[in-house]
Structure 1
Amino acid sequence: MVGALVAGLSVVPQTVGTANADPEPSTKELRTKAFKLADQLEQLTEQYNGLKVKLAQSQRAAKVATDNAERQEKTLQGLREKVGSLAATSYMQGGSDPTVSFVASQDPQAVLDQASTLRYFAKRDSSKVLILMQAMQAAQRARKSAEARSTQVKELRTQLDSQRKKVTDAYEKTRGKLVERDPSMLAKLPVIGTGKAAQALRYAMGKLGDPYVWGAAGPSTFDCSGLTMWAYRQVGINLPHYTGSQFNAGTHVSRSQLQPGDLVFFYSDLHHMGMYIGGGKMIHAPHTGDVVKIASMSGRPFAGGVRVA
């Protein structure tokens, strides 16, 4: 499994950096690169999601094994107390009963590591101590194994998250160049991400060109808060049909923290809003006589951003 996961980390493109002397790529080349990066990002995102599942499984296994080991340790402690008098008697008689040594020891594993002790217990296979010893050892091995798996998956997830960021940055840079040459390309390029915010943004992008109608919330006409409400409803998130209420429907983020799908608000009274796309652009339903379109966020006083998913 580890080999397969590591192999999946090698999909980061080697063409992210471009030498200064290289000629500028054509629009067609940039578009091809953008789609390729978006596809790679989707692969990395799914691998990341898979690792999150594996990490949760490993952490649950580690907790179960740890709880089991703790129960065995408590049982051993109870047995230590019961044989305290036996240990004293053995000492008085100058004996060295391995059973007493094992149970009374604060480091029973050190006692078990002695070959003579193991042979002794093997001969007394009906001993409760032998059963306890085996259970405790199994619990400790399971705990260590589960903890090792959790650590391994965490490390792989960190590596994968770093590579996702590299591909995302490369995609944003490529998309930015394309949009500078042809602003209409923004509507034709993939919306990256697999979360509900990205999914809602895809629904909103599918409404480009639909007319603005005051008080409308889809499916074919919209006002500004009606568009965002309709888009998020498609992914199972219910928002109120009012900019002021949507402004308080999630976590507030700064302009520099905006991600695709975040809600963006303008003017002090929050009377206009849209959905962030990236690169300083948003999709919105502007006003009567206009249609759902992509526009720059500049030119309007930014009041805040809200992340609802």
Structure 2
Amino acid sequence: LFLSADPDNYLDKASTLDQLSVQQVAALEKIQGKQRTLAQQRKEASEKLSDLADTRTELKKKKEKVQGKLAEAQKLLNTLTAQERQEIADKEQRASRSASDRVDLGNEAPASGRGAAALAAAVTQIGKPYVSGGTGPSSYDCSGLTQWAYAQAGVQLTRTTYTQQNDGTKIGQSQLAPGDLVFFNSLGHVGLYAGNGQVLHAPYPGTSVRYESMSTIGSFQFGVRV
């Protein structure tokens, strides 16, 4: 300042440089803050992707396990003669209809008009045999029955348990109402909630469409309201 030929001009320049310096520091701090936020978001996204990959791997293993058991059951079923199969089917059908007559479904209000219509349609299929890949109307597997039942109500569900879980809104066990989809055993099985803790479903090879208590089907996962 003392050596400057124009002290006023020097002070003006010094003030401008000081302001620029403050602005640069502020801008740098803002950029650094955004970089920290971005790094945190990347870390969280990476963790979520890792969790998703683990979940997919676990679901694949469980699906393969269930499919293996179904294949074993189907292999055993294939060893039966046509007469033996018919005798088993007739016996199962009589047992299913007899059990259905004794089932207490209570008086719970249906989940919706669609749910009520789907459940009513499924009731007409009681006694029809379980066949892997069956989509009706002569035989069903579990998701084939739910897909067929909702189709009678004018609603198109996807084909498998792993996709039907996304065909509506997930709900807890305490929220279930007749007509809701109910999923069990790590999404390996699906049925229709019928009321009073009962499920109408196509259980497994060698059985037929019937009512069954939720407590005996397996591990409940969640319900889906369509």
TM-score by length of 1: 0.38
With over 3 angstroms needed to count, the CA separation of the structure-2 counterparts of 1:190 and 1:218, relative to structure 1, is farther
Alpha-carbon deviations, 1:150-205, whole Å to 9, x = none? xxxxxxxxxxxxxxxxxxxxxxxxxxxxxxxx863338999965711001000001
* Cross-structure match for 1:227: 145
With over 3 angstroms needed to count, the CA separation of the structure-2 counterparts of 1:226 and 1:191, relative to structure 1, is farther
* Cross-structure match for 1:295: 212
Q: How many residues align?
A: 126
How far apart are the structure 2 equivalents of 1:191 and 1:202?
14
* Cross-structure match for 2:193: 276
Q: 2:180 aligns with which of 253, 258, 262?
A: 262
Aligned-residue identity in percent: 48
* Cross-structure match for 2:170: 252
Q: 1:285 aligns with which of 195, 202, 220?
A: 202
Query: Given that residues 191 and 201 in structure 1 are in contact (C-alpha distance below 8 angstroms), is that contact kept between their aligned partners in structure 2?
Result: no
How far apart are the structure 2 equivalents of 1:185 and 1:191?
17
Q: How does 1:63-78 map to 2 (within 5 A)?
A: none
Structure 2 gap segments, 5+ residues each: 1-98
Do residues 201 (structure 1) and 119 (structure 2) align? Answer: yes
SS at match of 2:192: strand
How much is the aligned-residue C-alpha RMSD, in angstroms? 2.2
SS at match of 1:298: helix
Dislocated runs of 4+, deviation >2 Å: 182-194
Query: Given that residues 191 and 198 in structure 1 are in contact (C-alpha distance below 8 angstroms), is that contact kept between their aligned partners in structure 2?
Result: no
Query: Given that residues 118 and 153 in structure 2 are in contact (C-alpha distance below 8 angstroms), is that contact kept between their aligned partners in structure 1?
Result: yes
Q: How does 1:170-249 map to 2 (within 5 A)?
A: 184-186=101-103, 193=110, 195-249=113-167
How far apart are the structure 1 equivalents of 2:196 and 2:189?
19
Flag the structure with more relative contact order, 1 or 2, with Cα contacts below 8 A and sequence separation at least 6.
2
Deviation at 1:218, TM superposition (A): 0.6
SS at match of 1:232: helix
Alpha-carbon deviations, 1:202-226, whole Å to 9, x = none? 0001100000011011112100000
Structure 1 gap segments, 5+ residues each: 1-181
How far apart are the structure 2 equivalents of 1:190 and 1:277?
10
Q: How does 1:78-227 map to 2 (within 5 A)?
A: 184-186=101-103, 193=110, 195-227=113-145
